Amino acid sequence: MRLETIHPDDLGPADLDRWRAHQRARPELASPYLTPEWMRIVADVRDDARVCVINGGDGFLAVQRLSPFAAMGLGAPIADYQGVVSSSALDLDPRALCRSLGVGRIDLTHVPEGLTPLQRAGAEGSWIAETQDGSDLYEAALKQRRSEFVRQTEKKSRKLAREKGHTEFRGPSNERSDFDALLAWKNAQLVSSGQPAIWATPWVSEVLERCFDTNTPNFGGALFTLRAENQLVAAAFCLRSARVLHFWIVAHDSAFDAYSPGVQLARWIVGWAAENGIAEVDFGPGDYQYKRQLSTTQRMLSYGVIAGASVSGAVRRTQYALRGGIERLPQARLAALPGKAMRRLDLMRALG
């Protein structure tokens, strides 16, 4: 197995063509977070971005090398997909991968199962709305499966129009003021709940700006909005690859809470995707009710570590072992604490 670690800018056109071919071969790798365009955008704002090229292009693993102790998946903590991009499973030695990247371990989250030599610590599902058959079939299936959800959503939509005036969905949109309003809503929401204002972090903000300004056949940002009498009510910023639309940032004006405007917008976006050549809308992990209601399936994504016999690898494995033991306790609030602590620590490491 031949491994070479390089800066993303050193990949040539032939490398990028092979990368995209791997994505086309496996639907679970079609995410915009696994495209070479995403890799280039993150690499432009983070000087620790690296790509391990496997066997001259049989596979690619993009990471950010935080220190000699550990790397994380490229774009962490804002990337919902990470891992090796290859057309088929490769026989990879975790120790060799770490040596090539010059780190003791590689921490990955949201990894499509089966293609990355991950010491798996757990998994969660990403919610998917399959839209390849068009909006009519999707809507018919949605009404059959979720009749009460559809009834309530449409009732609130009529109520919004009746009480607040003419409503209008727009997208994809290039309205910079709407984009700025969405980010302001989201950061305020995070701060009010005691969380870091992730989207205001300088390198993250720069990634967002570059995604907003990018529109190519294989990758781009896509802003969608809901307005009432030309007042912005809700907005969603998504990433798009050739066949996947991935929800990224969703927020709304809290004055319109009673109308569930974010849910209304999400449903409209799924219909738009079904009519515009998108095979699936990925709502990402997170057990939110609207994701369950609008989705038709889930894709399991693993999290864990790639490591050999290193001190940092042993530390990570110990952390996961302790976390797993506590998570099996019957006290739900106590069981959740180690996972929250690890996620918070990883968040701060990545943002730093």
60 located within any domain: yes
145 located within any domain: no
253 located within any domain: no
- Model pTM? 0.94
325 located within any domain: yes
158 located within any domain: no
175 located within any domain: no
pLDDT value at position 214? 97
Number of domains observed in the structure of the chain: 1
Q: Encode pLDDT of 226-269 as tens digits.
A: 999 999 999 999 999 999 999 999 999 999 999 999 999 999 99
Instruction: Please give the Cα distance from 229 to 242 (Å, whole number).
Output: 34
Instruction: Please give the Cα distance from 256 to 336 (Å, whole number).
Output: 32
Domain that holds residue 28: 3-125+300-351
Q: Encode pLDDT of 308-320 as tens digits.
A: 888 988 888 888 8
For 339, other C-beta atoms within 10 Å of its C-beta total: 16
133 located within any domain: no
109 located within any domain: yes
pLDDT value at position 69? 93
